[in-house]
Structure 1
Amino acid sequence: MVEIGRKLSGRYKILGNIGSGGMANVYLAHDLILDRDVAVKVLRFDFQSDQGAIRRFQREALAATELVHPNIVAVYDVGEEEGMQYLVMEYVKGTDLKKYIAAHSPLSNERIVSIMEQVLSAISLAHSHRIIHRDLKPQNILVDEDNTVKITDFGIAIALSETSITQTNTLLGSVHYLSPEQARGSMATRQSDIYALGIILYELITGKVPFEGESAVSIALKHFQSEVPSVRDFRPTIPQPLENVVLHATAKEASDRYVSADEMLSDISTCLAPERAGEPIFEPSSMLDETKVIPALSDEELATGGDEPAVEVSEAAKEQPEENNNKKKKSKRKIWLIVAAVLAILVGTGTFFAMTAPKTVTIPSVVNLTQEEATEKLEEKGLKVSTKTEKVSSDKVEKDNVVQTDPAKGTPVKEGATITLYISTGAKKVNMPDVKDQTYQEAVNTLTESGIKKTNIRKVEKYSDTVESGNVIKQTPASNKSIAADETIVELTVSKGAKTVSLRSLMYMTKAEVQDYFDQEGLILIDQYTYSDTIAQGSVIAQDPVARTQVKKGDSITVVFSSGPEPKPSTTETSQSTTESTTSPSTTTTSATTTSSTANSSETTTTSTGPH
């Protein structure tokens, strides 16, 4: 187990534990150079002393880096530190296909086909690189937040599956998807991957695996003895062409399966097409050969083993149904007797893998027990407990009690396997850093470097007149407060800058109305006045900026108000001016002048006469 906070190769900072499996532990880490989250898979401790496994792991892991495909989890790096082998991979935020099926079943036909098309496209690329996955199962297929499917575990599946089912916990855990030839102990081929894909398709359709049993051995037997149940028994509405894809991929004989992933992809891509409606049920070609009947053996023949040859069914025999029925019953009986005899021989010679497998035990949960109590419980299961323990912080487990084991609880292991205990040092406490006035990204980096989980950081945005947009206004908890790094939710209030408003039209508003509006929005009024014959005195004539302009608190707005009509000269002043300009002592005539400035008073005239 890798300690949280450790930096692998000085580059990959471990942030948390994603999960544990039979072969490796997976951690969430941050790539400090490329500033991105990654998944780091570390080969489990009990495999790290096997030099052969390490060489294969490194060789095949490097080969996996060649698989560049949108539906394959990318392998970024391969490394070793202090004898610890690890892979750095793309971090997929989402869930695995097993959980996805449980949460969304029953899936629509279209969604089922879409998922399989993505998986098959990825497997096709792998097979073209001569890479066989060998451990295909929904748990090794991830579904991200955009519903994109990505296959993982190529490197470890290839590197470690070269041993038989009795030698790897991974294969025991994957027995539900094991091909018949693998169950017999034969080498895996491309058709083995195709068989596993057929079982995955079955699970996508029905929501469950076709074979269950009390043990891995009983399930493996069903894979090469029993036919896969019809998916239409569970979902009668499934089109026959879609069921045919399942039947074709899960044929008992590898020669009856699809030749390649491309062929299966081509078939499933058109299985919902209307022109394929009415397609007959798929039958393996090996089942279409002429039927042979093994005659029944007498009790004496059974005792001696029986050496009577098989008899081919003749046309005449086909015309005798009652006799044939009796022969079929006897034939079935003989077949089962032969199978039992063969299994007995195999068990005796030690070649039947299931019966000769070392006893396996499942690691029990010892969480929250003291070290002594945990040791006693594990030893009762026939397991050994390492004298060396690991120390980890925990907010949930009391100090000095067991937090977890390596391998993890529920993992099947060989009897006598060594288990490492992880002992709690209590809750991990850190002092809350002061991140006010930092940019949001700077604040997040500061917090994660102090040990706070990135997933526990919440962002709240708020307008601010004093803090620059994008910077932190407030933080909760406050700085320098001691907090539990793994559990505390940190809330950062981030500035959106000053609030802007769309300036309304001020036309015809009074100054008092304008001032009230400006007080509400925090705007500053700059008033100006001018005469107007059309706008009432005191009302707005114009504004700058114009209506619908985005303004913020503190902006100055120029508003022009009407002073009313421009003042006119009075009648008396006009008359006097006119008289002075038109009267002289030598005037002997009489004239009447209408003053232009008093055009509105047409009867206003000045009369001048000479002396009497």
Structure 2
Amino acid sequence: MISIGDKVGGRYKIIDHIGSGGMSNVYLGHDLILNRFVAVKVLRFDFQDNKDSIRRFKREALSAAQLTHPNIVAVYDVDEENGQQYIVMEYNDGEDLKDYIKKHGPIEPKRAVFIMKQLLEALSLAHQNRIIHRDIKSQNVLIDHHDHVQLTDFGIAVALSDTSVTQTNTLLGSVHYLSPEQARGSRATIQSDIYALGIVMYEILVGKVPFDGDSPVSIALKHFQEDLPSIRSQIPQVPQALENVCLRATAKNPAVRYKSCQEMYNDISTAMDSKRKNEAKFDPKQQGKKNKVRVVKPVAELLSETKSQKDMRERIKSQHLDKMTKAKKPVKTSRRRKVHYFLLAILMMAMLGTLWVFLHPRSEQVEVPILSQMTLKRAEENLKEAGLTLGEIKKEKNDVVQKGYVIRSNPAEGKTVKKGSKVSLIVSSGKKLVTIEDYTGKSYSSVRKKLDKLGFNVERYEEASDNVKPGIIIDQDLKVGKKVDPHTTTIALTVSTGLESVSVANLSGYSEQEVRDYAQNNGFDLKISYASSDEIEKGFLVSQNPEAGSPLPFGGTLSVVISSGPSNDKKSLRTVQRWTRVSYLPKDGRGNSSNHIEVFIEDQNHKMNKPVQSLEISESTDINLTFELKPGQVGKYMIKRDGVIIEQNANVTG
């Protein structure tokens, strides 16, 4: 039995247990060869003899291994250790979407769209490869702190062409995300995956699943009996266009849902646009009535006369002639002519009508089948089966639909057309490639914005330069003119930091000569000034600019102050004292509060911008003011009580 500390397959060391599923345990492993963390999914010991469980476990590895996409957890390896099956997968250190929604839900609309678009891209790729997931739910979506999501657990996924799946197997998915047709026992389809994804979307926006109950049966009944609860009535800030995406994806009738993930992706991409601000609420039931397929009879059949209609016409004609022959009075010639002309006109109209019917027959009407996400060959077969022919084929770049697969058709899927009509196809010619430009000499910030928008992963490197300003690109690793897929390409840009900088040393304690030597050795321009100091020995550093540890480029200016020794007039300073009484002023009239007093003086050692004393008084207090003044120097002082000046003197002389 595989456990913590084991080395599986000779290269994967099991480090910790990180989760459990219905029939498997998941461990954090370390790939000793590639030096990376991996997730090791191990079939539980009690399922080792269950052939169905083993088959499902292997199917997960097979299905996921066919799909390479940043939003699908990658499968690296699959093997068996002492009779126990395991899958080695990409390790995602995030959490499942279900737990994330519990902590942070409901998710605001813009972030919800960002998450959903990633899931649609992942599921679109699976459908392109003819794989139905069948177990789409928030527990099978991993999300990290950057809102990057990955679809996982293809354990019950099946190929679209797999007709051996029983009705029992179609109910393996979670009942909270089960489509109405699956609840009735029908096989899973692309539309049932889209339904489940619509339920996940509802859960993201509202913070909970739409249908819940005491038992799986009661929940399943709600899926095909009850309308989806209104999102906007619970979360008003969700735009109607965005709710409409969810309503269409979760329509009870599969024909009303999106035909493909690509179609849903296109719709949700514009759901936040201002032009869709006043969009009406989508009604799946009304749309279902419009989508009912009916075969229209040819007009020739509708216009053709029945036998009884013919008999009736002949009988009327016979009766009319009898009346004419039995008339007692002779009919005037002019009147007879009019009757003949009238009958002749009717006969001509009947003949022309019959001729028009034969010359303009209305053929049977058919519906354009689902063609998107199919290979060209498969799409052509579907057209033939529907009684349609392949028309013009156009190529178009597409970031989602795989090369060689159909993006859309014209007329669109679901449209009613004449049988035998031509249907044009727009086929993906692969992802949109971007031509690498020459970014050197341009601002890194502006280039980075442009590359981020295109989908590139940008790496920044810095390098000093004597002749290029800071922030300007001086080199790039991709060749100019090369065509690349931005979504899978990393571009490295080298950015100038300007002149090469040196971290300035702490020159405290340096003599003037040592400072000069330091500046010369590092290529600095030295600026020296002198000042008297009673603390620093003559000829030694008093201060420096820039400060120690600051970057200074080659050729930059280093300014220092060197001590010239004690001040000559220090002995000539005289001390002057002043006493002043500060009155206490009660704030509440009863003397229960104190006054905040600040004293400012200006002399040889102090400036008026900073108080020399701060104190609290609750009674009138005498304060001593001491000044040190040079000969001829005038002192100043100012006293504030609770921020208000109450006394000041600008002429303290002794």
TM-score normalised over the length of structure 1: 0.48
Which structure ranks higher in relative contact order (CA pairs < 8 Å, sequence separation ≥ 6)? 1
More helix by percentage: 1
TM-score normalised over the length of structure 2: 0.45
More strand by percentage: 2
